[in-house]
Amino acid sequence: VWGNEEENISISSHNNYKSNPNYRLRPDLVKALWDLNPKFLRFPGGCISEGAFLWDNVFDWKQTIGSIEERKENYNLWGYSMTMGLGYFEYFQLAEDLNAYPLPVMACGVLCQARSDYAAPAGGSLRDYYIKNFTDLIDFAISTDFENNFWANKRKEMGHPEPFKLHYLGVGNENWGDEFFANFEIFKYEIEEYMKKYHPNHELHIISTVGAQADDEAFQEGWKFLHGDHHSVDKLQFTDGQNLFYEDVEWYKHASDYMDTIVDEHYYRSNDYLINNVDRYDFYKRVYDENGKLNEQKTSKVFVGEYASTDKNTLRGAISEAALMTGFENNSDVVRMASYAPLFNKVLFDSTYRWTPDLIWFDNEDVWFTPNYYNQKMFANNLGSRVLNTQTKGFYNGKKVTFEPEGGVMVTSTSSNILVESIKIVDNTDDKIIFENDFRKELSDKLSFISEENISRSEDGLLIKSDNAIPSGFYILEDWKNYRVDIKWQRISGINGLFVAVGLESITPKTCLEYVVDYQGHTTGLRVFKNGVEGYKMGDFSTSVVAGNMRRSLHHQLKNKVQIVTTISFDPKNIKAYYNDGEGKKGFLTAKNRKYNNEIFHTVSEDDENLYIKIVNIHGIDKLIRFSL
């Protein structure tokens, strides 16, 4: 990325981006970024920031500033050497020239866990060094105390006395487990205490991390930790770079949770995964204050820091990404930031690429744009400030219909014996009962049964028996749109609780939202079936069995032969569910309720001047769409 066309002896010489005399970058590559209209720039990336195997391999920002010729080179875990020709000073200036916020990602005292065989995390003096790396970087970026602050004066000497717009800071990358959680608590506390003391009026958002996958154990445990529900060992082994030693661990010593952070999620997945998970963030936890506004300290906030289709740089892959991005935009109260990764890849003659796909390809002379690039460009250059509600109408089985949430109710279980006492379904609009059955007295003829041979009624209620993974139960197939279900039950024996589905459109393929209690003995949450598919179960490493980010925090172990009341409210906008076992409400969740319409994925937003309509057609046929504004 650097060189000068006047330096004839340099093999990397080229015409430079001359808008900023403090660094030398190729103008075509800078323009490629400018045309994307980025709002922020993440650097230096993911795993490179952590380093692998050796602490000397951690990306140290202080080794990337000063004279380029004198910077310490280092190898990276992708198998090649880094000259550090593009260092932190160039990075901050590039972000400034792009009118974008810098978003540095730095090591949290944990080496790359995917490669370093769970090496002991940094403790003692080594941890102190990496904490100081964060606070020194903050000073280098924003301090104006040139007389007393070494790093502020260093920036001034380098030709940039004005502070940079550092408002986001990534603490760790793709990390998980006790070794990360314990250090993250200390790092975050020390960084925030430093900000209070030296930069009390400066807004800085901490970016946390929940591993490297979309739906694996690290992801689930990561959100559980951030929510304040992780309690583990009371001692943990650390290293100062020379010796191993144990330190006491006091969980949540400085804060009850870390939901105030923005959480970095990463996923590279197939087109099918992306298309089936457009609604991923419909099911994330939202917390509101008494005035109906989001509680920024407690509500879920996500930075999709790395994502891409593994259908590498094809039009189909870009369209699948576009579909997913409509989900980002429609859930922008949760998804605060998103960045495609990786950004650049250099064309090699031997094609030994370390990672594909990539957004922008280049060689020593030219630059090429992928379909993914044009997709990102269209989204970023047509972004409103407010997302608008929409209504979609179309044809289904030859009839014109409005695509909106509706459907009946299904009650089942597996591998358990469940006694159901009664069910009541109430219209939310007028509180009138639209269906009711006390199973201790009778059995309604409006019910249809699944595995009817496993169901029997007595004066105690309706006994649903299942000794395997095949469900048994009953359902009512209706087109109800706004209702509440209350069902009394108890588990006699087995490993699962009761599954109550709403919005039931079909049994085969199964299409509904199913609230499950004590599922498989470890999960309470919402299963989401779209034509028989549970999107969160797709892809490598996926261990999720319910949707959303609170799947591990909602769970409480059920007791047998204790009466439980499950309540689910289904309305045109939201799902609310919880159960009461006599000790109070448990497993409470809320989610957006949107009919999954893969005929056209879309989002509509506006600002004070324009209306922005984005339509994504994932199918290989033309579709006629009419708009009514």
The H or E element that residue 269 is part of is strand 262-269
Phi, psi of 79 (to 5 degrees): 95, 20
pLDDT per residue as tens digits for the range 495-526: 999 999 999 999 999 999 999 999 999 999 99
Residue 559 has pLDDT above 70, yes or no: yes
Helix and strand counts by DSSP (H, E) for the chain: 10, 33
Instruction: At 341, list the tokens.
Output: 């990764």
- Which pTM was predicted? 0.95
Confidence of residue 537 (pLDDT cuts 50, 70, 90): very high
- Collapsed DSSP state (helix, strand, coil) of residue 132: helix
- Please name which of 500, 491, 525, 519 lies closest in space to residue 416, comparing C-alpha atoms: 491
Sign of the Cα torsion 131, 136, 137, 141 reads positive
Q: Are the beta carbons of 263 and 210 closer than 8 angstroms?
A: yes
- Collapsed DSSP state (helix, strand, coil) of residue 328: helix
CA 298, chain centre distance (Å): 16
Q: Which residues lie below 8 Å from residue 559, measured CB to CB, with a gap of 6+?
A: 581
Q: How far apart are CA 328 and CA 281, in angstroms?
A: 7
What is the radius of gyration, based on Cα positions, of the chain? 27
DSSP 290-315: TTS-B-TTTS--EEEEEEEESSTT-H
Q: What mean pLDDT comes out for the span 263-289? A: 97
Q: Give the pLDDT of residue 320.
A: 98
Q: Give the pLDDT of residue 17.
A: 65
The H or E element that residue 581 is part of is none
Residue 557 has pLDDT above 60, yes or no: yes
Work out the number of other CB atoms within 10 angstroms of the CB of residue 173.
29
CA 619, chain centre distance (Å): 26
Confidence of residue 79 (pLDDT cuts 50, 70, 90): confident
Q: How far apart are CA 370 and CA 357, in angstroms?
A: 9
Residue 6 has pLDDT above 60, yes or no: no
589 burial level (CB within 10 Å; 0-12, 13-18, 19+) = buried
CA 519, chain centre distance (Å): 23
Residue 16 has pLDDT above 70, yes or no: no
Q: What mean pLDDT comes out for the span 139-168? A: 98
Q: How far apart are CA 3 and CA 509, in angstroms?
A: 60
pLDDT per residue as tens digits for the range 288-335: 999 999 999 999 999 999 999 999 999 999 999 999 999 999 999 999
Q: How far apart are CA 503 and CA 407, in angstroms?
A: 4
Q: Give the pLDDT of residue 352.
A: 77
Q: Which domains does the chain have, with CATH numbers?
A: 25-253 (3.20.20.80), 405-592 (no CATH)
pLDDT per residue as tens digits for the range 80-101: 889 998 999 999 999 999 999 9
Q: Are the beta carbons of 590 and 569 closer than 8 angstroms?
A: no
- Please name which of 160, 159, 169, 156 lies closest in space to residue 199, comparing C-alpha atoms: 169
Work out the number of other CB atoms within 10 angstroms of the CB of residue 338.
22
pLDDT per residue as tens digits for the range 201-219: 999 999 999 999 999 999 9
Q: Are the beta carbons of 16 and 28 closer than 8 angstroms?
A: no
Confidence of residue 177 (pLDDT cuts 50, 70, 90): very high
Work out the number of other CB atoms within 10 angstroms of the CB of residue 63.
16
Q: Are the beta carbons of 390 and 604 closer than 8 angstroms?
A: yes
Q: What mean pLDDT comes out for the span 165-193? A: 98
Q: What mean pLDDT comes out for the span 225-233? A: 96
Q: How far apart are CA 618 and CA 626, in angstroms?
A: 18
Q: Give the pLDDT of residue 397.
A: 80
Vertex 243, ends 239 and 249: CA angle to 5°?
Answer: 40
Q: How far apart are CA 575 and CA 406, in angstroms?
A: 12
pLDDT per residue as tens digits for the range 473-500: 999 999 999 999 999 999 999 999 999 9
256 burial level (CB within 10 Å; 0-12, 13-18, 19+) = exposed
